Amino acid sequence: MPTPDTFWTYLSTISVYLVVLVVPGGLIGVAAGLRGWALAGLTPLLTYTAIGLAGPWLGLIGLPFNPATAAACTALLAAAAYGLRRLGQARGWNSKDPDQPPTEWTGRAHLAVGACVALATVLSIIVVLNASGGASAVFQRWDTVFHANGIRYIAETGDGSLFGMSTINYYEPGGAQFYPNAYHLVGALVYSISGASIPATLNGITVPIAGIFALSLVALVRQFGGRAVLAGSSAIVAGAATTGAYESVSSGLLPFALGIVLTPLGAVALQRFLTRPGLDTGSVLALAAIGLLAAHSSALFGAILFCVPQLLQRWFQREGKPLKDILRVLPFGVLAALLAAPHLLGALGFTSGSYPYTPWASKIPVTSAVAQLLTFRQVLEHPQVWLSLLLVFGIFMVRTLGTLRWVGLAAIGLSGLFVLVACYGANPWVIAFSRPWWNDRYRLMALAAIPLCLLAGHGLAEMQRLLARAVSKWSWVQENPRTSARLGLATAVLTVVALGGVTNGFYTTANATAVAYAYYNGPRSENREVPVTRDEVAAMMELKKYAVPGEKVLNDRLDGTAWLYAITGIRPVAGSYDPGVPPKDAAYLANHFREYDRNPEVRAAVERLNVRHVLLGHGSIKPEMIRAPGIRDLDGLPFLRREYANPDAVIYTLLR
C-alpha cells in the first residue's frame, strides 16, 4: 500500500540515489587510478565500500553518521587510495604495464555498449514501477520491514554501527543483532537528502538494480578483453533475466540483491591486480572485497566461488603460479581484514550467538532444479524460452569465449551448488556449506544466474557474429565499403531488436509479475491478505496525534504495524516480523497483556517499555500464524480506551 509521496519526490529520490551511488565511489576510483569501464563498473561497489566503512568506524569513535561525516570518510579513503598509488609509482612497486584491456573497442563500440547498459536500466525502471503499483508502495515481504526500520534509525539517530539499527526490534540489553549495513547506510543518506518517505526511498534504491547488474557484467567483459557485442549482449540479458536481479527483490532480499549484482566486480578487481600487481590495483582489490562484505556477507563468499574458476584457468594456462598469486594477494587481504574488522568480528559473533539458524531443507527433484536453471525462473509459471535458447547456444559456443572461458566452469560450479541445496538441502553437510546463503535455494539461484546470464549474452553475441558473417558474403555488401564497415553495428542492432520482439519487450511484463510478489501486487497475491494495507498506514499516521516522545507502542508482531517506525518514526514494541529472539518484555506482553489490571508483571513490563498506546492491524504476514493471545479481543477491557478505528486497524490508549 502507498504512503504519502508525490511523483516528483519519488523522481528526486531516484536522482539522489544515483548521485550518492556515483560520487563517493567515483572519487575513490579516480584517486586509485581506475579509468574507463573499470571505473564505471567499480564505482557503485566502491561507494558501498566507503559508506559501509564509514558507519561502523564512526560509531566506534563516537561520531554520528550523516552526509557530512560520510563525505569526510569518503575524502579520507580517496586520499589514502591516491597516496598508495603515488607511493607505488615512486618506489616502483606498481606495474608499468598500461592499464588497458587486451582488446581495443572503437568509440562507436563504447557508445553502443553504453546504450545497452542504459536500455537495461530503463527495463529495470519499467519492471519495478509496474510491479509496485505506485511510486511509494510498501514492500510486503518478510525481511523488508527490518531494512526499512534500519534506514530510518540510522538517519534519525546517526548511529551507523553494525548493531544499532537492530535495536528497533532487539532492544533489550545485550540483544542487538549484527547485520552488514552498507545498504542501509546508503539508504539513510538518500532518505536524509531527498526528504522522501522510507517506502519511496526503498523503491528508489531498488529501481536501477538490473542496470547496476548490467554495468557489472560489462566491466567484467571489458576487463577480460571480450568483444563489445558480448558486453552489450550481457547487459541486455541482465535486464531481461528474472533470476538475475529481479527474483531476489521479489523475495524481499534487498541487500542480498545488491550483493548479487555487485558480485561480478570481484573478478574485475582480481583480474586487474593479477595482470598488473601493485599498490594501486591491490588497494582496489582490497576495497572491492570490503564493499562486497559490507553490502551482504554472502556476497564476498559468492565472489570467491565465482573467481575460483578464473584462477584455475589462469594457472592451467600458466599465466601465473598459484603460490605466487596467493602470496601477492595475501597482504591486501590482511589490509581488507583490518579495515573491515568490525564487520568480521560482528559476523563471527553472530554465527556463535543466540539467533536461531533455521535451514530451508529444500527437496525438489533434480530435473526440476536443472529446468529452473535453464529457464531462468523459480517464481514465474512460464519459462523464459528465448533466454534458454541463447543459454544453450552460448554453452555450445563456449570455446569462443577466449579469456572468459572460465565462466563456463563457474556456471557448472554455482549451478551444482544450487542443485545440491535445492534437491538435498536437508543433508547436514549441505546445510553447513550453504550457511552463508541460509540454505536458501532462491539465493543460490541468483548466484548461479551470474555466469548463466554471461553465457546467454555470449549466445546472443555469437548469433550476431554468425549473422554478420553470413551477410558479409553478399555481393552488394562486398561492393559497398561503407555498408561493410557498419555491418557489425547493423547486425547487432537487428539482433537486439529481434530479441526484444520475440520476448515481448525483453520480458518486462513477466519480470514485473515476479517483482510484484514483493508488493503483493500480482496474480499470485489475489487471494492473499496484504500485511500492510492502506488503512493500516492511515492508522499509523493517525497515531502521531496521540503518541508521546519516548514511548513504545504495543503492537502485533505479525501484522503490518511492524512498519510503524519506518513510516512514522514512532517506536513499536515489535519492530520486525521475526519471532526468533524477541525481547522478553515484548514476548510477555504479547502473551499476557490482557491481564494488565490483575498481573503486576504485565504492569512492570509496560512501565519498563513506557507503553501508552496499542496499535493493532489486520491479517498476518503468514496466514497460518495467528495473533498472540495477550493482544486479542481488546475491545471493552476497562484499562483501554478506543481512540481510532478503521476497517483494518484500531488504536487504544492505555488508562493508567
What's the whole-number mean pLDDT along residues 178-186? 94
**One-letter-per-residue 3-state SS of 482-502:** HHHHCHHHHHHHHHHHHHHHH
What's the whole-number mean pLDDT along residues 126-132? 88
pLDDT of 477 reads: 55
How many other CB atoms are found less than 10 A from the CB of residue 434? Answer: 24
- Strand 611-616 relative to strand 552-555, pairing: parallel
DSSP state letter for 528: S
SS3 content of the chain, % helix, strand, coil (to 5): 65, 5, 30
Q: Is residue 522 predicted with pLDDT exceeding 60?
A: no
Of 326, 241, 338, 303, the C-alpha closest to 436 is: 303
DSSP state letter for 593: G
Q: Is residue 476 predicted with pLDDT exceeding 60?
A: no
How many other CB atoms are found less than 10 A from the CB of residue 169? Answer: 29
What's the whole-number mean pLDDT along residues 271-280? 94
The residue behind cell 526440476 is: 368
Task: Give SS3 for 450.
Answer: helix
pLDDT of 131 reads: 84
DSSP state letter for 78: H
**Cα distances (angstroms) measured from residue 614 to each of 453, 607, 608:** 49, 14, 15
Q: Is residue 177 predicted with pLDDT exceeding 80?
A: yes
Cross-sheet strand order for the sheet of 649-654: 571-572, 552-555, 611-616, 649-654, 640-646
Percentage of the chain exceeding pLDDT 90 = 69
pLDDT of 64 reads: 97
pLDDT of 238 reads: 96
Q: Is residue 483 predicted with pLDDT exceeding 80?
A: no
DSSP state letter for 137: B
pLDDT of 521 reads: 66
**Nine-digit cell string for 481:** 565499403
**Cα distances (angstroms) measured from residue 512 to each of 129, 255, 327, 415:** 8, 19, 46, 25
DSSP state letter for 296: -
What's the whole-number mean pLDDT along residues 206-216? 96
**Nine-digit cell string for 282:** 591491490
Q: Position 390: which residue type?
A: L
How many other CB atoms are found less than 10 A from the CB of residue 37? Answer: 23
Task: Give SS3 for 357.
Answer: coil
**Nine-digit cell string for 125:** 525502471
pLDDT of 2 reads: 54
Rg (C-alpha) for the chain, rounded Å, is 26
pLDDT of 60 reads: 94
- Of 527 and 261, which is predicted with more confidence? 261
Write out pLDDT tens, residues 370-382. Answer: 999 999 988 888 8
Cα gap 212→258, rounded to integer Å? 9
- Strand 571-572 relative to strand 611-616, pairing: unpaired
Q: Give the dihedral of Cα atoms 540, 147, 167, 289; nearest 10 deg.
A: -170
Of 368, 383, 369, the C-alpha closest to 456 is: 383
The band of 526, judged by pLDDT with boundaries at 50, 70 and 90, is low
pLDDT of 484 reads: 53
pLDDT of 15 reads: 92
Kind plus residue range of the DSSP H or E element containing 616 = strand 611-616
Full DSSP string of 361-384: -----HHHHHHHHHHT-SS-SS--
Cβ atoms of 12 and 194 within 8 Å: the answer is yes
Please enumerate in sequence order all residues whose Cβ is within 8 A of that of 71, keeping only pairs 6 or more positions apart, or say none. 24
pLDDT of 274 reads: 94
pLDDT of 471 reads: 77
**Nine-digit cell string for 414:** 554455482
**Nine-digit cell string for 445:** 539461484
Show the CA angle centred on residue 559, arms to residues 554 and 562, nearest 5°: 55
What rounded mean pLDDT belongs to the chain? 90
Write out pLDDT tens, residues 529-548. Answer: 778 888 999 999 999 999 88
What's the whole-number mean pLDDT along residues 623-637? 85
Write out pLDDT tens, residues 29-60. Answer: 999 999 999 999 999 999 999 999 999 999 99
The band of 528, judged by pLDDT with boundaries at 50, 70 and 90, is low
Write out pLDDT tens, residues 328-354. Answer: 999 999 999 999 999 999 888 877 666
What's the whole-number mean pLDDT along residues 160-176? 89
Kind plus residue range of the DSSP H or E element containing 324 = helix 322-339
Q: Is residue 17 predicted with pLDDT exceeding 90?
A: yes
**Sign of torsion, CA 583 586 591 595?**
positive
**Nine-digit cell string for 15:** 536522482
DSSP state letter for 243: I
Q: Is residue 610 predicted with pLDDT exceeding 90?
A: yes
The band of 623, judged by pLDDT with boundaries at 50, 70 and 90, is confident
What's the whole-number mean pLDDT along residues 191-217? 94
Percentage of the chain exceeding pLDDT 70 = 95
pLDDT of 201 reads: 93
**One-letter-per-residue 3-state SS of 143-210:** CHHHHHHHHHHHHHHCCCCCCHHHHHCCCCCCCCCCCCCHHHHHHHHHHHHHCCCHHHHHHHHHCCHH
pLDDT of 94 reads: 80
Q: Position 578: which residue type?
A: D
HSE (side-chain half, CA atoms, 13 Å) at 456: 32
Cβ atoms of 594 and 630 within 8 Å: the answer is yes
Q: Is residue 481 predicted with pLDDT exceeding 70?
A: no
How many other CB atoms are found less than 10 A from the CB of residue 547? Answer: 20
Write out pLDDT tens, residues 501-518. Answer: 999 999 999 999 999 988
HSE (side-chain half, CA atoms, 13 Å) at 398: 16
Q: Is 562 exposed, middle or buried (0-12, 13-18, 19+ CB in 10 A)?
A: buried
pLDDT of 485 reads: 53
Produce one character per residue of 580-593: b if its CB has 16 or more CB atoms within 10 Å, e if not. ebbbebbbbbbebb
Please state the length of the chain. 656
The residue behind cell 505506485 is: 134
Q: Is residue 19 predicted with pLDDT exceeding 70?
A: yes
pLDDT of 560 reads: 85
The region of weakest confidence among 118-127, 368-377, 602-611, 623-632 is 623-632
Kind plus residue range of the DSSP H or E element containing 644 = strand 640-646
Q: Is residue 258 predicted with pLDDT exceeding 90?
A: yes
- Strand 571-572 relative to strand 552-555, pairing: parallel
- Of 13 and 70, which is predicted with more confidence? 70
pLDDT of 469 reads: 83
Write out pLDDT tens, residues 306-320. Answer: 999 999 999 999 888
pLDDT of 242 reads: 92
The region of weakest confidence among 115-119, 266-270, 348-352, 591-595 is 348-352
- Strand 640-646 relative to strand 611-616, pairing: unpaired
Q: Is residue 133 predicted with pLDDT exceeding 80?
A: no
**Cα distances (angstroms) measured from residue 1 to each of 132, 142, 290, 530, 539:** 9, 15, 36, 8, 13
Task: Give SS3 for 429.
Answer: helix
What's the whole-number mean pLDDT along residues 552-577? 92
Cβ atoms of 611 and 654 within 8 Å: the answer is yes
